[in-house]
């Protein structure tokens, strides 16, 4: 008999509810951390009413024989998860559709994960997903996640995976009619700081009201993810996979909208980076340019304007850029986040006017070493700060015209003399710096001069789709 404390609020209670739902029938395939999700359904009782099969193909040869070998040779990856979901779901339909089809809503659940104790060199992370029918005989839907487990010990990580897996099934079956409350239900019973969910994707005819972009933004807003990454095709990417093996060039901004200056900054940064990469790496390494926005730059009065957010991402991706949305107010936090996945050369490119903010000591009050520690964490042998001239009709700022407070000048000199803070252009090679806000002011006034301040493609998108309030 199931535990007497089972109820719909506990993990076992959710598993029991699903077991008692006679229309749900499916298969579980779990690799890498034990059958932590299926275990809850067995413990809750009446599992025979829900589980057609469980499988855990730990041996790589066995796993490859069942699901096929990945081109990259990896086992903890999105493509592996999708093969597992597809294979197990297809078998269910082939074997049971005639026998149980008219009354059953079939599903396949899968995860492929790597756990590691504290101090191990490898990451504790994994992919998890469910393929399910909303109604008997209906087309299937998919929900998939990428997660990182933050607990120190394997047993704790396995427990977290089990809870999350039960929550995912519960959400798929009973919480997909509306978007509101889905994330709350997904992380129910998990402690703060126990897991990171840095990718969530929805696909299928019954999930059209879920916008992947907004759902992933919500993960960042809640602190469940440090950052999310969009591809030029407006798809959600796993950051670790996207940046692996590449050098990075990152430009932070509001991009509301992208200006001609933003494009020039990136182009000059790319030219500079190729020389630095050869010197740093000893070989040419592919450069991935990324436009980054912080949650701070997306919020007004503590709230995110979803329409405005989608418009910014749409324009940036239409220009062929990867777009990163992060929770990192300070550059050193962003740099350390990316260093989890990437050891190659990295450059952050800013306008010269940003140097003043970089050297404001109050930003580093939470660090024992203050500003010196923060800049030390930001700039090292394979990380540089590229500075683009901030030019106006009256002046032109570069690294040479910036003077921090007297007690900080020796710190600034250290980084400039070691070429970790470098100019990427001279004043003669650049025009006046065009800020997004300057363009918006013109646009809001109906002043047609804004059109000359942005790339042609941006101009055409704003006008054709009436973006940013254009009339």
Which of 145, 22, 17, 174 is closest to 9 using CA atoms?
A: 17
Cα(108)–Cα(206) distance, rounded to whole angstroms? 16
What number is the average pLDDT over the span 417-425? 96
pLDDT confidence bin for 3, thresholds 50/70/90: very low
Cα(415)–Cα(385) distance, rounded to whole angstroms? 9
- Do residues 204 and 141 touch, judged by C-beta distance below 8 A? yes
| pLDDT score for 344 | 95
What number is the average pLDDT over the span 199-203? 98
Provide the residue count of the chain.
471
Helix (H) / strand (E) element for 265: namely helix 260-281
Q: Write the DSSP assignment of 55-102 as a string of letters.
A: E---SHHHHHHHH---TT--SSSHHHHHHHHHHHHHHHHHHHHHHHGG
Token output for 72: 């990259």
pLDDT confidence bin for 123, thresholds 50/70/90: confident
| pLDDT score for 117 | 67
186 phi, psi to nearest 5 deg: -65, -35
**Predicted confidence (pLDDT) per residue in 181-195, tens digit:** 999 999 999 999 999
Token output for 108: 């396949």
- Those residues whose C-beta lies under 8 Å from the C-beta of residue 182, and which sit 6 or more positions away, are 171, 175, 176, 210, 215
Average pLDDT in the chain: 93
| pLDDT score for 2 | 41
**Predicted confidence (pLDDT) per residue in 18-27, tens digit:** 999 999 999 9
Q: Please return the burial class of 311, using the count of CB atoms within 10 Å of its CB with bins 0-12, 13-18 and 19+.
A: buried
Q: Check whether the bond before 341 is cis (ω within 30° of 0).
A: no
CA angle 289, 290, 291 (to 5 degrees): 130
Token output for 285: 């390494």
Is residue 8 predicted with pLDDT exceeding 60?
no
More confident call, 297 vs 295 = 295
Which of 23, 224, 239, 53 is closest to 132 using CA atoms?
A: 23
Domains of the chain: 11-210 (3.90.950.20), 240-469 (3.40.50.620)
Q: Are strands 195-203 and 227-230 parallel, antiparallel or unpaired?
A: unpaired
Which of 347, 328, 236 is closest to 281 using CA atoms?
A: 347
DSSP at 380: B
Looking up tokens 């078998």 gives 91
| pLDDT score for 73 | 85
Report CA torsion sign: 242, 243, 247, 252. Answer: positive
What number is the average pLDDT over the span 441-460? 96
pLDDT confidence bin for 4, thresholds 50/70/90: very low
| pLDDT score for 1 | 34
| pLDDT score for 241 | 93
- Do residues 170 and 14 touch, judged by C-beta distance below 8 A? yes
Q: What is the CA radius of gyration of the chain?
A: 25
* Alpha helices, DSSP H, located in 319-389: 331-339, 355-358, 370-378
Cα(217)–Cα(159) distance, rounded to whole angstroms? 26
Whole-number percent of the chain with pLDDT over 90:
87
Looking up tokens 């003669």 gives 428
Cα(90)–Cα(86) distance, rounded to whole angstroms? 6
Is residue 308 predicted with pLDDT exceeding 80?
yes
Token output for 447: 């002043």
Looking up tokens 């932070």 gives 252
SS (H, E, C) 384-446: EEEEECEECCCCEECHHHCCCCHHHHHHHHHHHHCCCEEECCCHHHCCCCCCHHHHHHHHHHC
Q: Are strands 125-133 and 140-149 parallel, antiparallel or unpaired?
A: antiparallel
Token output for 286: 């592919």
What number is the average pLDDT over the span 404-428? 96
pLDDT confidence bin for 119, thresholds 50/70/90: low
Token output for 411: 């710190």
Is residue 7 predicted with pLDDT exceeding 60?
no
**Predicted confidence (pLDDT) per residue in 68-86, tens digit:** 999 888 899 999 999 999 9
What number is the average pLDDT over the span 97-125? 86
- pTM equals 0.92
- Do residues 329 and 294 touch, judged by C-beta distance below 8 A? yes
**Predicted confidence (pLDDT) per residue in 155-182, tens digit:** 999 999 999 999 999 999 999 999 999 9
Comparing 277-281, 297-301, 408-412, 461-465, the range with the smallest average pLDDT is 297-301
């Amino acid at each position: 008999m199931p535990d007497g404390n089972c109820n719909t609020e506990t993990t076992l209670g959710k598993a029991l509810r699903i077991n008692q739902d006679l229309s749900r029938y499916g298969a579980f395939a779990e690799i890498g951390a034990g059958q932590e999700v299926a275990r809850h359904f067995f413990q809750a009782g009446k599992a025979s009413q829900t589980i057609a099969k469980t499988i855990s193909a730990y041996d790589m040869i066995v796993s490859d024989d069942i699901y096929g070998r990945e081109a990259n040779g990896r086992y903890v990856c999105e493509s592996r998860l999708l093969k597992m979901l597809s294979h197990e779901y297809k078998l269910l339909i082939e074997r049971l559709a005639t026998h149980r089809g008219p009354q059953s809503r079939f599903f396949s659940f899968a995860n492929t994960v790597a756990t590691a104790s504290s101090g191990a060199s490898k990451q504790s992370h994994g992919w998890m997903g469910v393929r399910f029918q909303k109604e008997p005989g209906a087309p299937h839907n998919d929900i998939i996640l990428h997660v990182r487990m933050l607990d120190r010990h394997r047993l704790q990580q396995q427990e977290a995976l089990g809870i999350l897996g039960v929550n995912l099934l519960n959400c798929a079956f009973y919480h997909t009619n509306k978007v509101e409350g889905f994330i709350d239900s997904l992380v129910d019973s998990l402690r703060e700081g126990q897991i990171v969910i840095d990718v969530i994707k929805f696909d299928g005819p019954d999930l059209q009201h879920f916008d992947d972009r907004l759902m992933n933004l919500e993960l960042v807003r809640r602190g469940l993810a440090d950052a999310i990454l969009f591809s030029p095709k407006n798809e959600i990417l796993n950051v670790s996979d996207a940046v692996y093996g590449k050098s990075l060039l990152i430009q932070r901004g509001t991009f509301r909208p992208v200006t001609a200056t933003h494009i020039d900054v990136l182009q000059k940064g790319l030219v500079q980076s190729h020389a630095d990469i050869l010197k740093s790496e000893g070989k040419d390494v592919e450069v991935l340019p990324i436009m980054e926005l912080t949650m701070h730059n997306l919020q007004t009065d503590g709230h995110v304007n979803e329409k405005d957010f989608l418009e910014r991402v749409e324009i940036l991706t239409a220009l062929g850029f990867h777009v990163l949305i992060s929770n990192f107010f300070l550059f050193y936090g962003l740099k350390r986040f990316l260093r989890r996945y990437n050891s190659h050369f990295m450059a952050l490119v800013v306008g010269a006017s940003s140097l003043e903010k970089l050297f404001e000591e109050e930003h580093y009050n939470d660090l024992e070493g203050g500003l010196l520690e923060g800049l030390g964490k930001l700039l090292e042998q394979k990380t540089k700060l590229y500075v683009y001239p901030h030019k106006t009709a009256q002046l032109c700022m570069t690294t040479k015209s910036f003077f921090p407070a007297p007690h900080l000048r020796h710190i600034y000199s250290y980084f400039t003399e070691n070429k970790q803070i470098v100019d990427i252009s001279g004043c003669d090679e650049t025009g006046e710096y065009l800020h997004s806000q300057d363009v918006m002011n013109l646009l809001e006034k109906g002043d047609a001069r804004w059109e000359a301040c942005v790339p042609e493609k941006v101009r055409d998108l704003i006008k054709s789709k009436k973006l940013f309030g254009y009339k």
